[in-house]
Structure 1
Amino acid sequence: MNSAEELGMQFGIFTVGDVTADPTAGTTPSEAERIQATLAIARKAEDVGLDVFATGEHHNPPFVPSSPTTLLGCIAGQTERLLLSTATTLITTNDPVKIAEDFSVLQHVSGGRADLMLGRGNTGPVYPWFGQDIRQAIPLTVEHYGLLRRLWREDVVDWEGELRSSLQGFTLAPRPLDGVPPFVWHAAIRTPEVAELAAHYGDGFFANHIFWPASHTQSMVELYRRRFAHYGHGSPEQAIVGLGGQVFMRHNSQDAVKEFRPYFDNAPVYGHGPSLEDFTALTPLTVGSPAQVIEKTLGFREYAGDYQRQLFLVDHAGLPLKTVLEQLDILGEEVVPVLRKEFAVGRPADVPPAPTHRSLLRARGDGGGPHPDDDHPEAR
């Protein structure tokens, strides 16, 4: 199978790690069961040929992924090809030193199959739990990320900021794999400052995309692309964009709607709000046949341009593990192969592929000859 790097786009899934009652069975998994199910879902994602597994970070019930790198490190040991990421790592309430350490270790554990999406978080109580003030969310994001970049790129860091204690003579251990920091995506739902930060540094921008209409996502992506070009990183079309999506599929679309409706109606995030029909009409949520998912997903390019990463949410709202694994079978066998082929049609040659550790090595000039990881699928 061709690697995601060769084809230009990565396809995968992301999880928010919610522990939600199954409204059709009246049962709720334990935290242990939900974590083990997440591991099974990640393994299945690799088995069906997906490229990326990403986990959210939450520190409050009913969610379990409070330690994403622990979870991803475990998955790294159970997979060989899957690229491991987050959706998102909280740059505001996590200490940048700890983020730098954790993801450097994950790089080494996974053989370079790691990147991360940074976000500021949208759960207010988390800030004081970690000694921060939500009113400082944007300044924390900017200051913490500035320090994080230096920690990964400088052997000895002397640093002084306004919102964190200073550092003197600090050296990160371990250093990033091959001296190349993991690629950073900045994830946002509604924050223009995050798009601006991504553009400033020439990093990727990931639009969550699952709760808002296409017009909102379009405006955020266009802002990022314009500012990416403004800062001299390339043309707007060369900016690195990722999108979220949300699907539930059966081969008969009516069966999909009937089966998913009770989960939608009772979901913690959007249950007891707009109808399923209204939500699918207004947002990227697709409930129907594989062909309908393919058609709607291909339509994302009409307002986001050619982009590099597409992640789907398939495992929330109390859906049982068996059903989620069935969704992954359909994604891997019937949906993603078509999307790979169709998204490649007409893709301009100067639109960069999705970044990987290997491509970042090449960009640095280290990729011309043999590499210890060349027989690893991620290194293709």
Structure 2
Amino acid sequence: MMQFGIFTVGDVTTDPTTGRTPTEHERIKATVAIARKAEEVGLDVFATGEHHNPPFAAPANPTVLLANIAAQTERIILSTATTLITTNDPVRLAEDYAYLQHLAEGRVDLMMGRGNTGPVYPWFGRDIRDGIPLAIENYALLRRLWTEEAVTWSGKHRTPLQGFTSTPRPLDGVPPFVWHGSIRSPEIAEQAAYYGDGFFHNNIFWPMSHTKQMVQLYRRRFEHYGHGGADQAIVGLGGQVFMRRNSQDAVREFRPFFDVAPVYGHGPSLEDFTRETPLTVGSPQQVIERYAAMADEVGDYQRQLFLIDHAGLPLSTVMEQLELLGGEVVPELRRIADARRPAHVPDAPTHASRVAAAGGGRDMTVHAVDEVTGASPEVAR
């Protein structure tokens, strides 16, 4: 089954139609409400970005937000839309996301990225020129921390480890699934292919020709490394939509938000942007037709996430978008995707499917030992 969901960047943006800017508190609470609504309308995934600067109220540590949402939901997969593998310590990532995995009963995965805010590197004592080497080294260590009980390691960008055990251990002995997110870096597509992980191309600012090129590179290298055929690689795409029953109403209502949006405002016209990127402003049927055609360019893929809560859109409008997305658009896109996908192309990964593929869950709990004798506490007593 293909997964459909939403992702948020957590921007705190003035509503251009009212002049009102939400407080950080309002934006944070609204994000939780949006996630709950996403599950209610039948979406599969809620994902949040990681930011450390205004005008964003996205969490600096996404596990805080996702744990709160996990406590208020039952089914939806909770993901990061970016976990900064470059500036976060792999030890902390291993511990935090394994802990979240337990709290959420496995409904957790990660999207690794380098981030698009240059100053974040010196804020955390890093050099932006080391972006790719940090992504490669830190992720290699993170994998070992999740899959090996006692890790001895040394590298260039952090202090060595000697027999270190990250706790808690991954739920059922299966770490969270990892997507590698990149817009323009072929090295990251290569990294995803090397490990057999997912590749997420957040193509919201790019033409399909570029997206196709990046996905094809990942697919070729996935096959090269022996993980399966190129068409069996695990691919995700980003997207943006704004819908009303009548397409003219959608364009009229969304235009003021687009024109002054912090990310793409004061640039290309709405018409140019919707022609050149996946942004689709129109009726639900127009969204269905455009996104159903994505697979014609990149092949059958496993995850589609939409950005719908940005640019100052009020919460009530976002909730209306979710009703249309979950009630009309996603059911039809899911039907189309399921009908066209060959049997050998895998479904989107879930914790349950990965546990089954591993032959069942295992308790990975590491029990304390006496530092002198090496015996367990019960024996030592």
C-alpha distance in structure 2 between counterparts of 1:205 and 1:179, whole Å:
23
Identity fraction in percent: 72
Unpaired segments ≥5 residues, structure 1: 1-7, 368-380
User: Is 1:210 aligned with 2:193?
Assistant: no
- 1:44 is matched with 37
Cα deviation per residue 1:124-145 (whole Å; 9 max; x = unaligned)?
A: 1000110100000000000000
User: Is 1:83 aligned with 2:93?
Assistant: no
Cα deviation per residue 1:67-88 (whole Å; 9 max; x = unaligned)?
A: 2110000000000001000110
Provide the aligned C-alpha RMSD in A: 0.6
How far 1:344 sits from its partner (Å)? 1.0
1:83-162 correspondence runs (5 A): 83-162=77-156
- 1:26 is matched with 19
- 2:66 is matched with 72
C-alpha distance in structure 2 between counterparts of 1:93 and 1:303, whole Å:
34
Secondary structure of residue in 2 paired with 1:317: coil
How far 1:365 sits from its partner (Å)? 1.1
Secondary structure of residue in 2 paired with 1:345: helix
C-alpha distance in structure 1 between counterparts of 2:185 and 2:70, whole Å:
31
- 1:53 is matched with 46
Secondary structure of residue in 2 paired with 1:314: coil
Cα deviation per residue 1:105-162 (whole Å; 9 max; x = unaligned)?
A: 1100000000000001111100011010000000000000000000000000000001
- 2:277 is matched with 283
Among 2, 10, 15, the alignment partner of 1:9 is 2
Q: How many residues align?
A: 360
- 1:220 is matched with 214
User: Is 1:173 aligned with 2:167?
Assistant: yes
C-alpha distance in structure 1 between counterparts of 2:57 and 2:173, whole Å:
32
- 1:356 is matched with 350
C-alpha distance in structure 2 between counterparts of 1:254 and 1:21, whole Å:
24
C-alpha distance in structure 2 between counterparts of 1:200 and 1:146, whole Å:
11
Among 164, 182, 205, the alignment partner of 2:176 is 182
Secondary structure of residue in 2 paired with 1:115: strand
- Which amino acid counterpart does residue 333 of structure 1 have in structure 2? G
C-alpha distance in structure 2 between counterparts of 1:250 and 1:67, whole Å:
34
How far 1:259 sits from its partner (Å)? 0.2
Among 292, 299, 307, the alignment partner of 1:298 is 292
- 2:233 is matched with 239
Cα deviation per residue 1:344-363 (whole Å; 9 max; x = unaligned)?
A: 11210000000010011111
C-alpha distance in structure 2 between counterparts of 1:326 and 1:219, whole Å:
34
Secondary structure of residue in 1 paired with 2:156: coil
The TM-score, its normalising length taken from structure 2, stands at 0.94
Unpaired segments ≥5 residues, structure 2: 362-381
